[in-house]
Chains A and B, each alone.
Chain A
Amino acid sequence: MALGPFLLLATLEGLVSAAVLALTAVGLSLVFGVMRVVNVAHGEFFMLGAVVGWAVASLIPEAPALGFLAALAVSPLVAALVAIAVDRAILRRLDYTPEAVIVATIGVGYILQQGALSLYGPEARTVAAPFSFRVQFPWFGYSGYKLGVIAAAALVLAGVWALLARTRIGLVMRATQWDRETATAFGIDTDRIYALVFGLGAGLAAVAAVLVVPISQAHYLMGGDPLLLSFAVVIIGGLGSLRGTVVAALLIGLTDGIAGVFFAPTLGKILATLLVALVLVFRPQGLFGRRTA
């Protein structure tokens, strides 16, 4: 294959990972933006979404498309409910102290991992894609489902944006993010908003996971990479900035896709990880964020 088509293929692959990454990272970013806490269990909520998605889809083996749609509907709900329970039972009692929340969510992550290992097992399993046509380019054919993932992610992201910018509940969320005390003084139940945001964040990770399961596989250890990549996206995009998060996800997803074609994947990951750490050291407001303090 000549370089041009090769690059097109790499770009498409990059766009797919960028789409999934954007969904996952927006969930993390939302939680950080509104609640000012870092959720280390975010990767495990992603894993939970994939595993529950597999479980739901395997209930309807005769109709793969229906099974997939059911997984897409149920799995984010389950992840959101688990997250809300975690918020109510643990995070609220910690009064959202940033460091205590990090330690507690590490614990939550271990418990989710163990739960998946004990109930779902150590195997990696996949879910059949709801449709499987190929888009024929002059040089190669490309999975229609992957293009569908990009479209679905864009749709969900637009939905999140509309929710935040155009609805009353979004306004209330932004008010809570801006100033929790004043929001409380105006009669907003910020405890409920926190629970809602934490659930929404986990739900978004679960949507991303269900979308990705037909491409890769569900496995109880799959949460590590999405977590680190989401951290990277949220940091580079500027902590708590939604637009920055999406731009950074595109940047990192595309780089990942294209660099993956040319470099050894591990070396690429090492350099990317160090780069992100250095961004956080020297530009803590992110590449696109504004300095607030």
Chain B
Amino acid sequence: MTVRTRVWALHLAVLAALALAPLVLPPYHVTNLARIMVLAVFAMGYNIAFGYTGLLSLGHALLLAAGMYATGLLVTLAGWTAGPALIAGLAAGAGIALLVGLLALRTTGAAFMIVTLMFAQAGYLAVLYFGDLTRGDEGFNLARDARALFGLDLVADTTRYGAALALFAAGLLGCLVLVRSRTGRVLVAVRENAERTRMLGYDPFRARLLALTLSGLYAGGAGAAYALLFGYVGGTFAGVQYSVLPLLWVLLGGAGTVLGPLVGTLVMFYLVDIAGSFTDATLLVVGAALILLVLFARAGLLGTLRDRWLPWLP
């Protein structure tokens, strides 16, 4: 098999497995898996910025919340239908990311992390400030009959799972095509050595801005889908925790691998779920996972797999 066939076969097989999962899994895990796929889209977006382009942002909650609130508020307050609202969510994520990028990408390293953290904090405070509309931390629910796309009821388990899978598949294949394209190679080059990339005639700023905007598109899509599929929009998703979580998921699964975000989100979700049945100390699990990963396994699960046995893994 050529590398190309092997890569496509692997990723299509993963999608096929996800498509067949509801047939064998109990309903509780099917709902979990739908949630994990939506959150994994968020993580894939984070991975495009962090894993492939080397942009360590601490403000991605802003982009997730942008998509979530754009969609949720348009549906609830302006009476939009799900389709246009979803597109508005995608546009909000990408647009805010572009704006943040134009400013924050003037800085690098630790300064970039702090600037993105501060922008996201301003976003979170704005959610609280406009509490009349957003209902702050408490959040609001989307009306049941508004949650339908192309005549499909997104509340029913089967269609909801299907919609989550469709979004995830689009994200996964988009990411795969991106990182195997010339543009994707430029992004990796910027991560590895920005100065040398500039010398070769590429503009690192433009590459980073593109990566961040695409990342925002993914985050906005995930936020919009979360609002439509699970019917809830709340301030928690704008808080600093949702800026740290995608970092954790990507580090765990393997930064700079296409399937890493899914693996990381899946493992972390069930780790917290299982730990939650023994102890309330879920923050401890998150904290310890971050420290252990950064100390002992900076390549993450799939990154280690790639280093040891599967050098062709994209």
Contacts from A to B (Cβ < 8 Å): 38, 90, 93-94, 98-100, 102-104, 106-111, 113-115, 117-118, 224, 228, 231, 235, 264, 266-267, 269-270, 273-274, 276-278, 280-282, 284
Contacts and interface: CB of A to CB of B under 8 A. Distances in A.
A281 B103 contact: yes
Contacts of A235: 114
A118 B281 contact: yes
Contact of B125 (A94, A109, A115, A266): A266
B155 interface: no
B288 A281 contact: no
Contacts of B113: 38, 99, 102
Contacts of A278: 103
Interface string B265-292: 0000000000000001111101111110
A281 B283 contact: no
B29 to A, nearest CB: 27
Nearest to A270: B125
Contacts of B298: 100
Contacts of A113: 283, 287
Given A228-B121, A277-B122, A281-B115, A110 B286 contact: yes
Given A98-B109, A270-B129, A277-B122, A108 B287 contact: yes
B111 interface: yes
Given A102-B58, A107-B290, A107-B291, 7 more contacts: A38-B114, A103-B247, A103-B251, A274-B122, A280-B114, A280-B115, A284-B107
Contacts of A270: 122, 125-126, 129
B295 interface: yes
B291 A231 contact: no
A107 B289 CA distance: 8
Interface in B111-156: 111, 113-115, 117-119, 121-122, 125-126, 128-129
Contact of B290 (A104, A264, A274, A276): A104
A87 B286 CA distance: 20
Contacts of B97: none
Interface string B93-110: 000000000011011011
Contacts of A118: 280-281
B119 A277 contact: yes
Contacts of B122: 270, 273-274, 277
Interface of B: 56, 58, 103-104, 106-107, 109-111, 113-115, 117-119, 121-122, 125-126, 128-129, 240, 244, 247, 251, 280-284, 286-291, 293-295, 298
A104 B283 contact: no
Contacts of A100: 294, 298
A274 B118 contact: yes
A273 B126 CA distance: 11
20 contacts: A90-B291, A100-B294, A107-B286, A107-B288, A107-B289, A107-B294, A108-B291, A109-B287, A110-B284, A111-B283, A113-B283, A114-B282, A118-B280, A118-B281, A270-B122, A276-B118, A277-B115, A277-B118, A281-B115, A284-B107
Contacts of B107: 280-281, 284
Q: Would you list the 5 A-B pairs with minimal beta carbon distance, nearest first?
A: A110-B287, A107-B290, A277-B118, A114-B283, A111-B287
Nearest to B291: A107
Nearest to A110: B287
A284 B111 contact: yes
Given A90-B291, A270-B126, A114 B281 contact: yes
B286 A103 contact: no
Nearest to A37: B110
A238 B113 CA distance: 17
Contacts of A104: 290-291, 294-295
Nearest to B281: A114
Contacts of B288: 107, 111
Contacts of B290: 103-104, 106-107, 110
A107 B118 CA distance: 19
A115 B288 CA distance: 12
A93 B294 CA distance: 10
Contacts of B293: 103
Nearest to A234: B114
Which of B119, B125, B282, B287: most chain A Cβ within 10 A? Answer: B287
Contacts of B295: 90, 93-94, 104
Given A100-B294, A274-B118, A110 B283 contact: yes
A60 B278 CA distance: 35
